[in-house]
Structure 1
Amino acid sequence: MRIETNVTRLLGIDLPILQAGMSWASSCTALPLAVSRAGGLGVLAAGPMYIEALEQCIDEIQSGTDKPFAVNMPLYRKGAEEVLDLLEAKRIPVIIASQGGPKKYLERFKAIGTKCIHVVAGEEHAIKAMNAGVDGLVIVGGEAGGHPPPSLVSTLVLVRSVAKATDGCIPLIASGGFADGRGLLAALSLGAGAANFGTRFMATPEANISEGYKLAVLGAGVSDTRTVGGGLGMIRAIGNRFTDRMLDLEGRGVDIETRKAVFLASSLKMAAFDGDVVEGKMEAGQSSGLVDRLMPAAAVVAEIASDYARALDALPRAVA
């Protein structure tokens, strides 16, 4: 099956399905490789990776498929320049950059033909990135796991807002709240050319997170995530003892230094790598409440595409 949009044409993929770059979960070969082979865009998350491991994963993906893949690059990470040098040397097909301005990487990657996608969470940054010359934008709404926008404006509203502001001049990828083909259909109807699926791909055998973390995603309802860490790099995570402690401190208006100490004492690695789902940061989106099965990543891609086709066919048609 193929679903052609401005994003699939830009990236050279068959389906407007992107697997979000998720630290730890897609900081591996298996998940992005499986998604790219299935016709979507697999995304290798460089954020927590040592340079040697990152290079090895890129080599394995490049040798495992001739289809496009992307590397998600948080521009604030330690050793960012060294990582950018590596990505340039490897001539990766797509870079998806976040948490920084596009001028830091844009010229050098466009010069080698890499497609440059920038992550934004509002109209102002979207227009700035578009005017800087990026090839596409990921628009992150409030439902998203990991780092949603501080405003928590919903994806439904935010994507429409950015689509109107950019007036069709740049391909958009909607992110936050998508778990199935009906969500993909909604994203395309808003003016996006693709949807970003993060939490859905956490519940796959290929996702590089602990079994306890995966079970927490499968067991969560749509109202079981919490946003904590305002002013400290807010995250959305499945509720546990860590989020309870943070919500208590925030609710009582405790000073920011005390909150910072508690916030930094927990980490995503604790949940993803060590399996500590009580005290670790189990970052996940509200769409975890729509995920109830562990499935191979390729099967997830196929199911999203077929679900999209059924949903599209079932839509009421306008009559004169």
Structure 2
Amino acid sequence: MLSGNYIRKVAVVGAGGNSGKYMTGELLKTGKHTVTAITRTDSNSALPEGVEVKKVDYDNQSSLVEALRGQDALIITMGAMAPPEQQSKLIQAAAEANVPWILPNEWSPDSANEALVKDVFVFEKMPKAREHIEKLGKSSYIAVTTGFWYEWSLAIPAAYGFNLANHTVTLFDDGEAKISTSTWPQVGRAVASLLSLPIQAEGESRDRCLDRFKNSLVYVSSFTVSQKDMLDSVLRVTHTGLDDWTVTKEPSKERYTKGIEAMQKGDRMGFARMMYSRVFYPDDCGNYEKTRGTINKLLGLPKEDLDEATKAAIQRSMEVTWG
């Protein structure tokens, strides 16, 4: 039995989603947490085995409050285009239910970078969510910055620039700007390790506690790599040579502008081109390992194999068709 200095009960919104299922699985694996999936009344999405389930109606605030009552932490995972009022309702409900800790819907590049947030509109809601939590004053947040998901993003031609099926790649600028990026399993391990820390410091380990990260952003990653590093990995995994690929270049700022223009014409892939090309600007906005540092070591996160993650991306690219 864990003492009162530890988080035991964790509610997860999006427990069956791309990243949420890894967070949920790793939390359960610790044997230290009871995990409750917060899901819509009409949802039929598959959930990891071992979770408790609470059905909610986002139009009925009392159902959210009741579902969160007694929870030690709330993890919110939602798609980039989810209505922002959904998270606002959850934050308000967590405050009313006296949930002490919230991991808001971050899971992104560095939303503390003001220039990046200004240029990528979907990132604007992240600082707003943090401000909302602080203003209510009932919960503390820890915003986990992960960069873009590697195996998801490498599989999308409009994202990291690779069309894995057609053996083509577009390098932004010279392809040498490094960005920090994470795999889904690493994100899951990071969340489980973070929420397994004592709330207040114990013994001589003054840094290993949640209070140290109260109302702040923390940074975790799998790799800090350039497009050329990714290309080298793809070549190794596919047993191909550079001559087997068509490599072109495009200025990152030009790609960003064209992405916005395409969005305005209704091209949904324009959104991806805009958002992803912005983190590859040569200003280190995507390289938070360099600009902020990570807590990988403190959390005991493993050093991953880039080629294994690339294999997962290639497999995913064969299963999902992107416009």
Query: TM-score band, normalised by the shorter chain?
Result: 0.3 to 0.5
Give the structure with higher Rg (CA).
2
Q: Provide the TM-score with structure 2 as the length reference.
A: 0.35
